[in-house]
Structure formats: C-alpha cells, structure tokens
Structure 1
C-alpha cells in the first residue's frame, strides 16, 4: 500500500513538471544574430559586365526589349555605372518569395520572345555577370527620389560578422544623420543574404554629381555626421562605391 502511494505521488509530480515545461515560454536571446525579416520579400541585385565595344548596343537592345522581362516580375531600378566600374549595368528585382523567383525563372526559360528577341542577342555582349540576394534592413524601406533625374550612388560596406543586430544601431545613426540633416536621400538600405556575406548597401540619390561632391565636403565638416560615422566605422572592414545614371526605362530614375 505504501509503495502504491509512492508511485501515485511520483506520477503526480512528473505530470505537474511536464505541464510546467510545456507552459514555460521558450527562452529567447537578448540579441539576434541576423536580420529579422517580417515577410519574405527580397531584392536581387544583378550586375552585368559588358564588352566595352558593345556597351551602347547592349543598352539600346535592353531599352527596346526590357518589357519582355518586366512582364514576369517587378523591376525596381536599372542603372548604368559611370564611376567605380566601367561598362557595367546594375539592376534590382523584387520577389515575394524564393518560390516566386523560381517560377519566374522557369517561365522566362519557356518564353520564346524573351529568348529569341533578347537573351540570344544580349548574352554574347556580356563578359560576366554577378547576382546577390538582399533584404531591406529592418528599419528601411524603398523610398523613391523626390524627383526624376539626378545620379545614384551605391555605397557598399563590408561589415564585421553579426548582421544588423550587431552593427544596425550605429549604422542606422550614420544613415539617419545624413538624411535627417538633408545631405542625401536614401532610396534603400539592404543587407546581403546570398553572395558576399556581412555586406550592407546604401542606395543614395543626388540631384547631380557636383551636388554630391559639394554635400560630401559640407557633411564632413558637420560634427554630428563625423561622430555618427566614427561610431559606425568601428564595425567596418572595407567599403566601395559606384556612381550610376538611371536608364530611361528604369522605374526609379
């Protein structure tokens, strides 16, 4: 009888412990180690390197046939690189999911107009091409320039490992200081997912290349900008940039 009571007591304690474990909230880290996407939308960066003597022909063909491509998915912008890389075009495509991108690529492979009128002619003009999958950092969104025209700067920062959870606060302060002071317009801030990791890209807009030069000179004498950039630079490994002109068919221009 005593043994039976002991068995019941042990069973009761085990049941109570199991219920406590089930109801106890899952432990969470105080900081995450990567971007916290709230949805599946991502942006594919594509860079095409064009044979120098065919640069003009490639841009003309793309201008005439890009509608065959945009019939399948959304183009954010398309630019010709002027400084920081000759004979290059850079474009950004938006996808709702990886499944959507896969279906788009499959559809393009079966589209005779796209293949015959564009791909078969454009591909021989290229020497190479790169792509990268990026997400907007949690605190950024696509913001078109206040007006058409002007120039765009794609600034790429190689950051120390850890993602926006590590460098995000300091980097956001550096970007916000520039935008909040009226020095530049940020079209979007992107964090790499596939391709070179731990990269963040800022796409800036300026009215002209000369305006950008003047703004850089002024902002570098602004104590607020200097302080914010210095704090962000703690997480920086290297950086590079490109100055680009929007193509006539680019949605953002």
Structure 2
C-alpha cells in the first residue's frame, strides 16, 4: 500500500532542500563576486610601446588620422607616458557591449582609409601592444577636469576574492583621498580581461608639482592614512604612470 504521508514528507523535504540550495547558491555568488555589473558598458585600456626613434612620427600620424578611428567608437582619453614607462601611449575606449566592439573591429578591418592611411604606417613603429577590458566600479562615474592638466594612472593588484572582499576598504581609501581635495578622481576601473584582481585608478592634477605637494599633505592627513591602512591588507602590489594628454585626447 502506498504510504501517502511518507511521499508527502519526502516531497516536502526535497522542495526544502532545493530552496536551500538556491539560497546558498545566490549567497555564495554574491560573496564571491560582490556587486554585479548592471549594464554592458565597458572600457578598453590599450597600451602601445613604440620604437624610441618613432615616438614623434607615431604621435604625428595618430594626430592626423585619429578622426578615422573615432568615427567608429568613443575615445575617452589618449596619453603619452612621462614617468613609469618609456616610449608608451595609453588610450581608453568606451563600448556599450561586446557585440558593439566586435562590430567596430570588423568595420575597422574593412575601412580602407583607416587601414591604408594609418595601420599600414603605424604597425612598423609598434614594438608591443596590450589591452585590458575593464568596468567602472559601481560607485564611480567618469569625471572630466575643468581645465588642462596631467594624469596619474595607478594600478593596484589586489588579493583574490573580488570587490566583495576588498571593495569597501578600497572605496574608502580612494574617496577619502579625493574628498580631501588632494587630486581629482577621473575613474576607477576593475579588470574583466587582462590581469585579474587588478584595479586602475585615474587621477587628474594641474601639474606634476601640484601632485607632489598633494601627496606630501596626504601622507600627513590622519583620515587618509587610516583609510589607506585599512585597504593595504588586501593589496598585493601597485605601480603608477604619469600621463600627458595628447593634443587629440578628449580628456585634457
């Protein structure tokens, strides 16, 4: 004879187990990754290492032909590296989705003017190129300075675990520094492709001396020191570059 009560108990127990599994999975997902990207917009950071004797020629060539490239997608900024790297250019491009980037790359490959006027002349000047796909962290938007200046790109290699682990402390360190007025925050970018667990912070200064003075004051600011001290426990390494905007860079 069929034991109805037993069947009901088993069914109830299975349903409860499935619900618990879903709940645990959702909780584990959030703990592992932290706040999720809410939209498809991402930023590609490209670094070009140019042959030393070709730096001026590369800059001139790009200045004359960049309009062919920006006709396809949005350029955020384009810089030469003054300190922290030699014979390098760094540029950041915005895309609404991976599908858009694929379409842009396909269009560029078939753009005769771009290929003949730029790529054919640029490639012999190039030594190494690298790219990273990044997302803006949820608590940051792209800033825009009110006047021309210089930029500092600081790259932090964080311990594994994602923003759920180090996000709050890192956010506090960055915002404390920005809110104190020692630098203008332009953007905080978290890697999706490239070196994982890596974050890039882009700052703006009027000039290198203003940066140096701000750094000196920040090191004596108890608020900044406390925030940085809480964040460094999640830090593996860091490096930086001083960037000078090119004449054709949207971010000056």
The equivalent of 1:235 in structure 2 is 234
Q: Secondary structure at the residue paired with 2:160?
A: coil
How far has the Cα of 1:239 moved from its partner? 0.7
- Using the alignment, how far apart are the partners of 1:29 and 1:239 within structure 2? 31
CA deviation digits over 1:222-242, x for unaligned, max 9?
111111111111111111100
Aligned to 1:45: 45
Q: CA deviation at 1:32?
A: 2.5
Q: Structure 2 vs 1, CA of residues 20 and 184 (structure 1 numbering), >3 Å: closer, same or farther?
A: same
**TM-score when normalising by structure 1:** 0.92
> Which structure dedicates a bigger proportion of its chain to helix?
2
List per-residue Cα deviations over 1:40-64 (Å, max 9, x = no partner).
1111110000111110110111011
Following TM superposition, by how much is the alpha carbon of 1:34 offset from its aligned partner in structure 2, in angstroms?
2.6
Q: Hey, what does 2:115 align to over in structure 1?
A: 115
Say how many residue pairs are matched. 248
Residue 186 (1) aligns with residue 185 (2): yes
Bigger Cα Rg: 1
Partner Cα distance (1:22, 1:33) in 2: 21
Question: Is 2:38 aligned against 1:54?
Answer: no
SS of residue in 2 equivalent to 1:76: strand
Spell out the pairing of 1:15-164 with structure 2 (5 A cutoff): 26-27=22-23, 28-29=26-27, 31-34=30-33, 36-145=36-145, 147-164=146-163
Measured on the aligned residues, the alpha-carbon RMSD in Å equals 1.8
- Equivalent residue for 2:208? 209
User: Structure 2: how far apart are the matches of 1:234 and 1:16?
Assistant: 46
Shift of 1:24: 7.2
Report the CA distance shift for 1:25/1:144 in structure 2 as closer, same or farther (over 3 A). farther
